Structure 1
Amino acid sequence: MPWPVSPGFLAPLAPWFDRVRRDLPWRAADLDAPHPDPYAVLVSELMLQQTQVATVVPYFGRWMARFPTPATLAEADEDSVHKLWEGLGYYRRARFLKAAAASVAAEGWPGDLEGLATLPGLGPYTAAAVGAIAFQWPAPALDGNAFRVLARLLEIEGEPKAQAAELRAWLAPALETHGPSRLTQALMELGATVCAPRPACGACPLADRCGARRSGRTGEIPPVAKRAKPRASILWLLALEAEGHFLLHAPSAEGLLAGLWRWPTFEASAFPPQPAAGESSLTAWPGWTQVYTHRREAVSPLHLRAKNCFAPGPGLRWIAAADLSALALGKRDQRLRDLLTASGQTPLEAPEVAALIRACAAPSA
């Protein structure tokens, strides 16, 4: 069965959005004009990738106060950029944002969607979202929320992303009719607040025309994607202190945690626990499970006090305790940094102290 013409089918969405839209700091008051600050749209879209709106709002405010223009971000040092992003996760977004800002500061904003898509970190969805919201280009932006909404409305069988090209072509006339910024954000709002994985159909302005609702299939459309089981590991997380300094891994240039400082970690299987009662140089706290997209870490935090600084192993550096708070750390490593100011206890079991120190030292030390 052919899909209905999108401008009429989606007509109730625009007035609904005007009534219920959330007051978000990156949202323009006038949705019929180009956004007064395209950079604010770029920042918000990069921050919102895989992150909830409520989490992003305070980060956005701090970011715009510190880096209010593409030029100020382009000129900032990477340590300050990562520090301000600290806790938001997926840190390569911060590096992409800085690189995109540098391009805009040097060459100005691209004049079309293809140009936007060449900016670092802007895939097809983000480029289309920035184009529609910042510049009023009728560029259909399809993220997970939009795919879910359209799959239910049009009762699409199977994975809706397989029909991405057709959905973009179908949606474009509605953007032209109702306004690219308004309708793009309305779809986002509907997916985030009403047509969620568990939908609140009674609050939906399109409920009377939703195919999945009529057939009672909102729970199975779209199908839930199967995720690979996260890899599990059991780790010792070590804060090693000597002579008023702590030993940490310096930031790497590439990889998931590029730009971040890290505490040394050791697989528990390689450093098995043994009775540690009476070992005054060790402090421990209750552990926790750190969950990432593809792995789960059972973390046991330790604080080890050594008598002297020694030549550290590859990639490790001694950092003055007074400078510790200024370092950009991931969530797991922030948590141990915060624990250092809390009372711990002598562990009942821990790895051998000498083995931990040998593992952190340079081979010739």
Structure 2
Amino acid sequence: MTPPPDATLLLAWYDRHKRTLPWRMPSGAADPYRVWLSEVMLQQTTVATVGPRYARFLARFPDVGALAAASWEEVAEEWAGLGYYARARNLHAGAKALAAGGFPTTVEGLRAIPGIGAYTAAAVAAIAFDRPVVPLDGNVERVTARLHAVEQALPAARPRLAALAQGWMGQEAARARPGDFAQALFDLGATVCTPRNPACAICPWREDCAGRRAGIQAGLPRKAAKKARPTRFGVHFLATDPSGRLLLRRRPDSGLLGGMLEVPGTPWREEGWEGAGAAVHAPLPGLSWTALNGEALHGFTHFELRMALWRAAVPAMAAPEGFAWWEAAAARAAMPTVMRKLLDLAGL
């Protein structure tokens, strides 16, 4: 067994080199709502993207009570463009539970809140409540795999990596500053122990790193080969009235992009759509639809999407049941990125 790296060295490095981030506060002094929000936003989204959006979200929903009191439509509008909307739905559900009883201070208590998973519970517990736990995100996985030269591939290696990382908390220095220790690990992985070309020469743990000694650090952690993502196809129908408003609807609450605003269309499937087969999904029967040139492309985690767009002009009329007329600018602000690509295709 490789001995644990010296927590004192990492914390000293962190005190000198820590990143300045809008949500960062000293260990044990952080607002749990702000920690929670930042951790949810940062999942599968870059720090550069999250920074301004975090500030804007807080301005609109400054505390957990304000978020709980908001409608899903308001939350979805503010989340638009950040992707992975299930995160926003879980955040909203969790806020409703937290507004009634306040923030639990333990990992177990946080895990009981709807939408808070293992990583987020550990991060909030460590950073906001000084609980001696190491949150395992991608940065910490990478640092751990390299330090202990773990060659087993992800995701199978994850339980072992979690146990090894948690073992570092056995040191008195780490237990004295759990939140700072967790954030130091995040920063080490983000700025020094990077996925490509790790800067081992300036790493505070370089002497403790078994991966560096073996010369295999750049190839760790190993990852199982990914399956090719299938391609799915859809056809969407953009109706506009004489004032330029768009006929849109909300997706079902459950499922992909649940509750989000969309240009109505066919289901997304692996078989392409013929004209007649797609037309039965048009929102207003009997219209003369024109297929636009080109297609909108979007990548989801598990599949690639190719969308055709048909367009029609309609006279002034009330929106049919389940639909609503939207000004183009307001629609773009409230839509997920995949739907904005359809508006781009239409030149709106």
> When the two structures are superposed, what TM-score results if normalisation uses the length of structure 1?
0.81
Partner of 1:329: 335
Tell me whether 1:223 sits opposite 2:222 in the alignment. Answer: yes
Shift of 1:320: 4.1
Structure 1 unaligned regions, length at least 5: 274-279, 343-365
- Runs of 4+ aligned residues of structure 1 deviating over 4 Å after TM superposition are 307-312, 338-342
| Letter aligned with residue 55 of structure 2 | G
CA apart distance, 1:86: 0.3
User: Deviation at 1:317?
Assistant: 1.3
CA RMSD, 1 decimal: 2.7
Letter in 1 for 2:228: K
Is structure 2 residue 47 aligned with structure 1 residue 49?
A: no
The answer to whether 1:18 aligns with 2:18 is: no
Shift in Å, 1:67: 0.5
**The one of 98, 101, 109 aligned to 2:92:** 98
Distance in 2, matches of 1:111 and 1:210, equals: 33
> Against the structure 1 CA distance between its residues 142 and 195, is the aligned structure 2 distance closer, same or farther, given a 3 Å change threshold?
same
Question: Per the alignment, in what secondary structure is the counterpart of residue 71 of structure 1?
Answer: helix
The separation in 2 between residues aligned to 1:144 and 1:76, in whole angstroms, is 32
Q: Do residues 151 (structure 1) and 145 (structure 2) align?
A: yes
Q: How does 1:236-251 map to 2 (within 5 A)?
A: 236-244=235-243, 245-251=245-251
- Distance in 1 (CA, whole Å) between partners of 2:176 and 2:150 is 24
1:360 aligns to what?
Answer: none
The reply on whether 1:4 has 2:31 as its aligned counterpart is: no
> Which residue in 2 is equivalent to 1:271?
274
1:166-218 CA-to-partner distances (Å, cap 9, x unmatched) read 32541222464451011100111111222122122233221222111111112
Q: Determine helix, strand or coil for the equivalent of 1:111.
A: coil
- Quick one: which amino acid aligns to residue 248 of structure 2? L
Within the alignment, does 1:319 sit opposite 2:319 as a pair? no
**Which moved further from structure 2: 157-166 or 255-264?**
157-166
Q: Distance in 2 between matches of 1:60 and 1:130?
A: 16
Matched to 1:10, the amino acid is A
| Residue of structure 2 equivalent to 1:111 | 105
SS state at 2:238 partner? strand
Q: What secondary structure sits across from 1:297 in the alignment?
A: strand
Alignment of 1:1-365 (within 5 A): 2-6=1-5, 9-28=6-25, 30-31=26-27, 34-159=28-153, 160-164=157-161, 166-174=163-171, 176-177=174-175, 179-198=177-196, 199-244=198-243, 245-266=245-266, 269-272=272-275, 282=290, 284=292, 286-307=294-315, 316-321=322-327, 324-325=330-331, 328-338=334-344, 340=346, 342=348
Matches of 2:22 and 2:316 in 1, distance apart? Answer: 50
Which amino acid is 1:184 matched to?
A
CA contact (8 A) 2:319 2:325 kept: no
**1:146 & 1:25 partners in 2: Cα distance?**
21
Percent of aligned pairs sharing the same letter: 37
Q: Contact 2:146 / 2:210 at 8 angstroms: preserved in 1?
A: yes
Which residue of the partner structure matches residue 361 of structure 1? Answer: none
Q: Classify 1:327/1:220 alpha carbon distance in 2 versus 1 (closer, same or farther; 3 Å).
A: closer
Report the structure number with the largest CA radius of gyration: 1
CA gap 1:320/1:243 in 2 versus in 1, 3 angstroms:
farther
SS of the counterpart of 2:262? Answer: coil
Instruction: Label 1:26 to 1:51 Cα distance change in 2 as closer, same or farther (>3 A).
Output: same
Structure 1 residue 254: Cα displacement: 0.5
1:237 Cα offset (Å): 3.3
SS at match of 2:81: coil
CA distance in 1, matches of 2:332, 2:220: 46
- How many residue pairs get aligned? The number is 328
- Given that 2:81 and 2:337 are in contact with CA atoms closer than 8 Å, whether structure 1 keeps it comes out as yes
Distance 1:173 1:14 in 2: 15
Report the AA paired with residue 192 of structure 1: A
Deviation string 1:222-245 (CA, Å, 9 cap, x unpaired) is 112322211102433331224545
Q: State the distance in 2 between where 1:329 and 1:202 align.
A: 45
| Mapped partners of 1:217, 1:17: distance in 2 | 25
Aligned partners of 1:228 and 1:294 also within 8 Å: no
Higher mean alpha-carbon deviation, 155-164 vs 121-130, is at 155-164
Q: CA deviation at 1:138?
A: 0.6
| Distance of 1:20 and 1:285 partners within structure 2 | 51
Residue in 1 that maps onto 2:280: none
Tell me by how many angstroms 1:318 deviates.
Answer: 3.8
The amino acid across from 1:207 in the alignment is R
Secondary structure (helix, strand or coil) at the match of 1:304 reads strand
Give the aligned partner of residue 279 of structure 2: none
CA offset digits 1:259-317 (Å, max 9, x no partner):
201112347832359xxxxxx974736434211101112233443224575985xx851
Is the 2:234–2:273 contact (alpha carbons within 8 Å) kept by the matching residues of 1? Answer: no
Once the 2 structures are TM-superposed, how far is the Cα of residue 324 of structure 1 from its aligned partner?
Answer: 4.5
